Chain A
Amino acid sequence: MDENIPAQAGNVVAGIDVGGTFTDLLLIDGANGGAVRIAKTPTTVENQAHGVIAALAATGFPIPAIDLIVHGTTTTTNAVLERRLAKTGMITTLGFRDVIELGRRTRPQPYGMTGVFVPVIPRNLRLEVSERVEASGRVREPLDEDGMRSAVAELVAAGCEALVIHFLHSYANPSHEKRAAEIAAEIWPNSHITTGHSLLSEAREFERGVTASVNAAVQPILERYVARLRDELSQRGYRSDFLIMNGNGGMISARFVTREAAKTVMSGPASGVIAAAYTGRRAGFDNLVTYDMGGTSTDVALILNAEPAVSNEIEIEYAMPIHVPMVAVHTVGAGGGSIARVDASGLIQVGPESAGANPGPICYGRGGTEPTITDANLVLGRLDPRKLLAVDNPVTVEAVRKIFADRIGKATGLDGVAAAGAVLRLGNIRMAGAIRMVSVSRGHDPRDFTLFAFGGAGPLHASALARELGLPRVLVPARPGITNALGCVVADLRHDFVNTLNQPVAMLDEKRVHEVLARHRAEGEALIAKEAVRPQSIRVSHSADMQFVGQTHLINVPLPSAHVDRETLQGLFETAYFARFKVELPEIRANLVNLNTSVTGVRPDIDLGSLIDPAGRVATLEGALREVRPVWFDSGWRDTPVYLREKLPLDAAIEGPAILEQMDATTVLEPGDRARSDRDGNIIVEVGAP
């Protein structure tokens, strides 16, 4: 690794996001006034590295001249969801090998007594060894070292590639796990050994065990991928280290990423949220609800004071918790492919069934026959049928309208267009409800927030959703379709730390609080110093997870500094609690459960002004007008101007209804909306009254 190549303003940075369908690349040439190159190539599922190389080639920019590549990957996410995992063995405390299979007595949904669950590690590869540590950390039974050796040998013989060592109470005393790992390392053929306490040093054996299991089972896969990509890049003359986007929204050197591979399962979604925070901050909007609508699902996250909310309790699917700090992205099961139908009671329902990518909406021409939200957008003139991506056998708008009339209209007395309008409106309401549950209903005033809409379909619905949610404003970034790649370009280096104290505030040892927070800071700074990329500055933020004594749920309270005293903690908590629940409980004492710190190596600001080429803009609004076409709104058909977004003058003021088209997204302005552009090419929509 060449230590002499710091990433500074003026250098060339490429962000690459590998999504389910497309690999997106955004390259910003700092040496050349921030000139931008963009590429979109098909994702190569078997080996994502090929798609990455193809995207780099498509820019025409010489790879040796790139100073920094930052990469968001779905390699580990897909591996877990599709259970295409490395063969992994597990050794647990005697009597506890089934913990990761039993879970916490749940079922996938409240109603319906069915469900299927496949553990990450099958039962025949989960062995037990005699050892026991008590909750206090006291050793009750010593580690049976011979038993450990034979268990490891058995798993090696079974062909396991990765190993998990998961003992009870290892968060309180990790000595047995550490010793067991030493023993295993003597005969294990590689370095893929994960101990339970190393990723998550907290009580809860199921969650810690699953987190460790996922980490081990994706480690070899991520390592192979990183090695392939590194080879491909170096063959083409790339000289620097490359970085990978972590689920916490910070990037980390590919040299270090595999040790905590589980942290990359939210890599893609996290980068989108990071881009939103960055873009929003530059535009002057620090409180955002981010909204990334795709074909089958929609990702939603909250950004408060320009900081994405982080959660330690992500569940990536049923009974699959990964408890490491990651950007709190909530997935709502509704997207462009959500299917509309009339139920037995004659009511229109939208979702939760989805046409997915295959067959997909009817208008994709891949054999889909069920009307979807995307199809409704087409019938209503919001999407231009001439510009649909990924169409195999074109289906006419007339044919789609007829299906709406038959499937939805007949039972409800609506014609095809009104039926499509109803589907769109209901889809928006359902989605708004789901978004509200994970965002503004958690004690926030919607009027303080801006909806940040991205992904291919986000800007189509954003204005209508903002109305439903009571959000006054929508921000559509310059390049909604490559937001994740932008997140890679602008991400900082970041490390998160958690320590559990679990003490009433009144009895808190202030000195200990200060020590813990200082240690967090020192560890984070040391980790960042190891990276090849040099940050411009270090930012440290502390928070506390608090509750009233006797509660189980926590409220996260940002701390003004590491030197807080008890009185300040109590006051901050009471204020936060009242804001959330409108409840005051002077009778009850507060409890401090966790201390959190994030240490961020801030990279230099990157100018986004060239995301849309300023030279392509025209002088007047009329100059950007492509056509006027009828578009359906709640009030009926309206002749609606369609503008080419990349031509819009920067000072344009646009009144809704209007449609803004660009290569990778379509933005709809509802009647009454007023939109303007800012210096970064964002569109800011002031939402009209409903």
Chain B
Amino acid sequence: MTLDAITLSVIQAALQQTCDEMDLTFSRAAFSPVIAEANDRSDGIYSAVDGALIAQGSQGLPVFVGVMQHSTRTIIEMISDGRVLPPEPGDIYVVNDPYLGGTHLMDVRFAMPLWRAGNIFCWLSNTGHWPDIGGAVPGGFSASATAVEQEGLRLPPVKLFKKGVMDPEIYAIICSNIRVADQRIGDIRAQAAALHVGQDRLFAILDRYGDETVVEAIAELRRRAAEQMRAHIAALPDGTYRSKAFVDSDGVVDAPLTIALSVEKAGSTLTFDFSGSSAPCAGPMNSVLATTLSSVYLAMRHIFPDVPISAGAFEPLMIKRPEGTFLDARYPRPVSGCAAEVSQRIAEAVFAAMVQAAPDKVTASPAGSSGNFALGGNDPARGRDYVMYQISGGGYGGNSGHDGLSNGCSTIGISKSPPVEIMEQAYPVLYRQYALREGSGGAGKQRGGFGLAYEIELLRGEARASFVMDHGRFGPQGALGGRDGAVNTVTVFRDGQPHVPPHLSKEQDIALKAGDRVLVGTPGGGGYGDPLERDPELVLRDVGLGYYTREQAAEMFGVVVGNGSVDAAETERLRRR
């Protein structure tokens, strides 16, 4: 090695910093609240040779871990075989084709080569979730689509910016095919501005340390990230760890989809095998390969957060291509649910397998749903149409040290849910409650966190409600003897009559009128460890706080709570049974 340890660490920090600044610029300049508030975007630096990930922003949406290396690689391949025009300085490609290394159509990627002395030094790329991309329903999450064409506009890699100038014709095509097009110019400018910030910072790094040193450092950092991941893996016991996770249904056919996973740990590699998982499905709960891979990556990053995100970190993770399953969907399978829900079930399968190997590093399963509830209608008081999105959190799984967090963000997200007051200002709805969902945390030595219970009443006009959630059929899995968290529930009251979606967590276009209500209970986290080993004083505290009833304390934890204290003798008797 010719590079010293100091220079190497310095360049690593500088590359990371560059990506973090790109993330910051993109969010702060964006218009779409999905990007600006929910941070549903990511920025990174990619190899000029094969698109391999060099560095990625630490504040990017987790589901995008590693995704853009697939789309960047595809662009490089398509340029080299002549299907895409080669770049010139100032060009930026746009692409959102899920089958070309993507997620769903709403995630639109920009990719820009960084030029150095007439050659491409590396690529800068980012992804932003646009609020609409055309298709059958506003927002793109059609629960009943059966082909990708119903989900929106699909863009192959094309140059949106040519020599630094935006192509007005391509822009016009995009705007003619999406809803609320008038603000997209702001997001496009923000997305490009983030790439330019990255370019400026990278130039400064190259000028300071020299191009050759940086090239050498990138190669060495990749090697070392692989080494670091290998060191983590090597510390786990050898063996094969199996798990299953289930998607409630595909939204079209009412039957669960199975993710079957076996993880083989041998030496310092992990091999992930999804064979035995369900076949591609009719509805939108298919995953494309890039999303399946990145779901494994993000789950592993949740387990080992100290390993920097780079192609090297993924090297020891051998993922067999799950051909013939719904985790490797091909054109024209609909895919809108892959990033929001299927990815989280894949992560759940990884957690459920890995907790057996690394019980001190992995939690029981978290709620793992984005909780998408969309309400579209017309507000007669304002004389205009609206589409409202309510996302929600749920309980996290218990872990070796602590109970699970309540109302945590989705596994793949980092976005905050909107305040009730802001929703009521903007839409003709009234929240009748927004509460901790009592009893929902799965029992365990360390219990799961609690989900959320909310109830929304339509105040004016008519509207249609759509749900893309999950865990309605089976709750988030407990681990090491812990029990599952409570299942997701959706109940729609029309004229006072309850309606439960046949697919439990998914349904599209339920007609509502003023006075009708929607009641949602989000999943609790899985419990960790035997609930009969939970400290009775903690159960007493939980009863005192109203988290569980006394009956639940006895049933779920075998603890008899008397008047403000634990009945030790009765508890002992109950627990022995």
A and B: bona fide binding partners:
yes
Known contacts A99-B434, A552-B36; A426 and B421 CB within 8 A of each other: no
Least CB separation from A347: chain B residue: B9
Question: Is B420 a contact of A168 with CB atoms below 8 Å?
Answer: yes
Question: Is B424 a contact of A135 with CB atoms below 8 Å?
Answer: yes
Question: Is A135 a contact of B9 with CB atoms below 8 Å?
Answer: no
Stretch of B24-32, B112-120, B145-153, B319-327 lying at the A interface: B24-32
**Residue from B9, B20, B435, B544 within 8 A of A97 (CB atoms):** B435
Q: How far is the CB of B413 from chain A (nearest CB, A)?
A: 9
Q: In the docked arrangement, what's the CA distance between A242 and B392, Å? A: 48
In the bound complex, residues from chain A placing their C-beta under 8 Å from that of B14 are: 429, 433
The answer to the question of B238 belonging to the interface, with a C-beta cut-off of 8 Å to chain A, is no
The answer to the question of B237 belonging to the interface, with a C-beta cut-off of 8 Å to chain A, is no
Question: Is B419 a contact of A111 with CB atoms below 8 Å?
Answer: no
Known contacts A103-B407, A426-B13; A437 and B396 CB within 8 A of each other: no
The answer to the question of B436 belonging to the interface, with a C-beta cut-off of 8 Å to chain A, is yes
In the bound complex, residues from chain A placing their C-beta under 8 Å from that of B433 are: 94-96
**Residue from B5, B411, B547 within 8 A of A413 (CB atoms):** B5
Question: Is B193 a contact of A344 with CB atoms below 8 Å?
Answer: no
Within 8 A of B (CB), among A173-231: 203-207
**Residue from B224, B434, B547 within 8 A of A346 (CB atoms):** B224
Question: Is B305 a contact of A347 with CB atoms below 8 Å?
Answer: no
Please encode chain A, from 336 to 373, with 1 for each CB lying within 8 Å of some chain B CB and 0 for all others.
Answer: 00000001111111000000000000000000000000
**Residue from A168, A344, A346, A412 within 8 A of B232 (CB atoms):** A344
The answer to the question of B302 belonging to the interface, with a C-beta cut-off of 8 Å to chain A, is yes
Question: Is A115 a contact of B189 with CB atoms below 8 Å?
Answer: no
Count of chain B residues with Cβ under 8 Å from any Cβ of A?
Answer: 85
The answer to the question of B441 belonging to the interface, with a C-beta cut-off of 8 Å to chain A, is no
Q: In the docked arrangement, what's the CA distance between A205 and B62, Å? A: 27
Least CB separation from B201: chain A residue: A441
Q: In the docked arrangement, what's the CA distance between A413 and B421, Å? A: 59
In the bound complex, residues from chain B placing their C-beta under 8 Å from that of A344 are: 227-228, 231-232
Q: How far is the CB of B497 from chain A (nearest CB, A)?
A: 22
The answer to the question of A402 belonging to the interface, with a C-beta cut-off of 8 Å to chain B, is no
Question: Is B436 a contact of A102 with CB atoms below 8 Å?
Answer: yes
Q: In the docked arrangement, what's the CA distance between A94 and B431, Å? A: 11
Question: Is B546 a contact of A441 with CB atoms below 8 Å?
Answer: no
The answer to the question of A105 belonging to the interface, with a C-beta cut-off of 8 Å to chain B, is yes
Q: How far is the CB of B422 from chain A (nearest CB, A)?
A: 6
The answer to the question of B225 belonging to the interface, with a C-beta cut-off of 8 Å to chain A, is yes
Stretch of A374-382, A452-460, A577-585, A601-609 lying at the B interface: A577-585
Question: Is A583 a contact of B193 with CB atoms below 8 Å?
Answer: yes
The answer to the question of B405 belonging to the interface, with a C-beta cut-off of 8 Å to chain A, is yes
Please encode chain A, from 552 to 588, with 1 for each CB lying within 8 Å of some chain B CB and 0 for all others.
Answer: 1100000000000000000000000000111101011
Q: How far is the CB of A209 from chain B (nearest CB, A)?
A: 10
Question: Is B392 a contact of A585 with CB atoms below 8 Å?
Answer: no
Question: Is B419 a contact of A205 with CB atoms below 8 Å?
Answer: yes
Within 8 A of A (CB), among B364-415: 366, 391-393, 396-397, 399, 401-402, 405-411, 414-415
Question: Is B183 a contact of A343 with CB atoms below 8 Å?
Answer: no
Question: Is A551 a contact of B186 with CB atoms below 8 Å?
Answer: yes
Q: In the docked arrangement, what's the CA distance between A171 and B402, Å? A: 37
The answer to the question of B509 belonging to the interface, with a C-beta cut-off of 8 Å to chain A, is no
Please encode chain B, from 415 to 437, with 1 for each CB lying within 8 Å of some chain A CB and 0 for all others.
Answer: 11101111011000011111110
Known contacts A104-B417, A436-B17; A114 and B402 CB within 8 A of each other: yes
Question: Is A101 a contact of B406 with CB atoms below 8 Å?
Answer: yes
Known contacts A105-B391, A113-B411, A345-B227; A96 and B405 CB within 8 A of each other: no
Least CB separation from A413: chain B residue: B5
In the bound complex, residues from chain B placing their C-beta under 8 Å from that of A124 are: 544-546
The answer to the question of A548 belonging to the interface, with a C-beta cut-off of 8 Å to chain B, is yes
Q: How far is the CB of A507 from chain B (nearest CB, A)?
A: 16
Known contacts A115-B396, A344-B227; A104 and B21 CB within 8 A of each other: no
The answer to the question of A142 belonging to the interface, with a C-beta cut-off of 8 Å to chain B, is no
Question: Is B31 a contact of A551 with CB atoms below 8 Å?
Answer: yes
Q: How far is the CB of B391 from chain A (nearest CB, A)?
A: 7
In the bound complex, residues from chain A placing their C-beta under 8 Å from that of B391 are: 105
Question: Is B5 a contact of A105 with CB atoms below 8 Å?
Answer: no
The answer to the question of A422 belonging to the interface, with a C-beta cut-off of 8 Å to chain B, is yes
Question: Is A105 a contact of B430 with CB atoms below 8 Å?
Answer: no
In the bound complex, residues from chain A placing their C-beta under 8 Å from that of B422 are: 203-204
The answer to the question of A550 belonging to the interface, with a C-beta cut-off of 8 Å to chain B, is yes
Q: In the docked arrangement, what's the CA distance between A169 and B425, Å? A: 9
Known contacts A107-B405, A426-B6, A588-B183; A95 and B435 CB within 8 A of each other: yes
**Residue from A117, A171, A552 within 8 A of B33 (CB atoms):** A552
The answer to the question of A140 belonging to the interface, with a C-beta cut-off of 8 Å to chain B, is yes
Q: How far is the CB of B294 from chain A (nearest CB, A)?
A: 13
Question: Is B546 a contact of A345 with CB atoms below 8 Å?
Answer: no
Q: How far is the CB of A118 from chain B (nearest CB, A)?
A: 11
Within 8 A of B (CB), among A403-448: 412-414, 421-422, 425-426, 429-430, 433, 436-437, 441
Q: How far is the CB of B468 from chain A (nearest CB, A)?
A: 16
Question: Is A113 a contact of B366 with CB atoms below 8 Å?
Answer: yes
Q: How far is the CB of B349 from chain A (nearest CB, A)?
A: 14
The answer to the question of A146 belonging to the interface, with a C-beta cut-off of 8 Å to chain B, is no
The answer to the question of B363 belonging to the interface, with a C-beta cut-off of 8 Å to chain A, is yes
Least CB separation from B8: chain A residue: A347
Question: Is A587 a contact of B185 with CB atoms below 8 Å?
Answer: yes
Please encode chain A, from 516 to 559, with 1 for each CB lying within 8 Å of some chain B CB and 0 for all others.
Answer: 00000000000000000000000000000000111111000000
**Residue from B232, B392, B421 within 8 A of A204 (CB atoms):** B421
Question: Is A111 a contact of B224 with CB atoms below 8 Å?
Answer: no
The answer to the question of A112 belonging to the interface, with a C-beta cut-off of 8 Å to chain B, is yes
In the bound complex, residues from chain A placing their C-beta under 8 Å from that of B13 are: 426, 429-430, 433
Question: Is A98 a contact of B434 with CB atoms below 8 Å?
Answer: yes
Question: Is A203 a contact of B419 with CB atoms below 8 Å?
Answer: yes
Q: In the docked arrangement, what's the CA distance between A89 and B458, Å? A: 32
Q: In the docked arrangement, what's the CA distance between A552 and B190, Å? A: 13
Within 8 A of A (CB), among B23-68: 24-25, 27-31, 33, 36-37, 58-59, 62
The answer to the question of A4 belonging to the interface, with a C-beta cut-off of 8 Å to chain B, is no
Question: Is B10 a contact of A102 with CB atoms below 8 Å?
Answer: no
Question: Is B434 a contact of A95 with CB atoms below 8 Å?
Answer: yes
Q: How far is the CB of B431 from chain A (nearest CB, A)?
A: 7
Q: How far is the CB of A578 from chain B (nearest CB, A)?
A: 11
In the bound complex, residues from chain A placing their C-beta under 8 Å from that of B242 are: none
Least CB separation from A426: chain B residue: B9
Q: In the docked arrangement, what's the CA distance between A644 and B129, Å? A: 58
In the bound complex, residues from chain A placing their C-beta under 8 Å from that of B420 are: 96, 99, 168, 205
Question: Is A114 a contact of B405 with CB atoms below 8 Å?
Answer: yes
Question: Is B5 a contact of A348 with CB atoms below 8 Å?
Answer: yes
**Residue from B37, B185, B421 within 8 A of A205 (CB atoms):** B421
In the bound complex, residues from chain A placing their C-beta under 8 Å from that of B402 are: 114, 116
The answer to the question of B503 belonging to the interface, with a C-beta cut-off of 8 Å to chain A, is no
**Residue from A97, A171, A426 within 8 A of B10 (CB atoms):** A426
The answer to the question of B452 belonging to the interface, with a C-beta cut-off of 8 Å to chain A, is yes
Known contacts A111-B302, A113-B366; A105 and B434 CB within 8 A of each other: no
The answer to the question of B81 belonging to the interface, with a C-beta cut-off of 8 Å to chain A, is no
Least CB separation from A342: chain B residue: B5
In the bound complex, residues from chain B placing their C-beta under 8 Å from that of A345 are: 224-225, 227-228, 231
Q: Could you jot down 19 A-B contacts, CB within 8 Å? A: A95-B434, A96-B434, A101-B406, A102-B406, A106-B393, A113-B396, A115-B396, A123-B546, A203-B419, A207-B419, A346-B224, A347-B224, A421-B6, A430-B13, A433-B14, A437-B20, A552-B33, A583-B190, A588-B186
Other A-B pairs beyond A111-B305, A345-B231, A548-B31, 4, CB < 8 Å:
A114-B401, A552-B33, A581-B25, A588-B186
Enumerate the 10 nearest inter-chain pairs by beta-carbon distance, A residue then B residue, closest first: A105-B393, A95-B433, A345-B224, A345-B228, A344-B231, A104-B416, A111-B305, A412-B5, A135-B424, A203-B421
Residues in B lying within 8 Å of A, measured CB to CB: 5-6, 8-10, 12-14, 16-17, 20-21, 24-25, 27-31, 33, 36-37, 58-59, 62, 182-183, 185-186, 189-190, 193, 196, 221, 224-225, 227-228, 231-232, 301-302, 305-306, 351, 363, 366, 391-393, 396-397, 399, 401-402, 405-411, 414-417, 419-422, 424-425, 430-436, 452, 455, 544-547
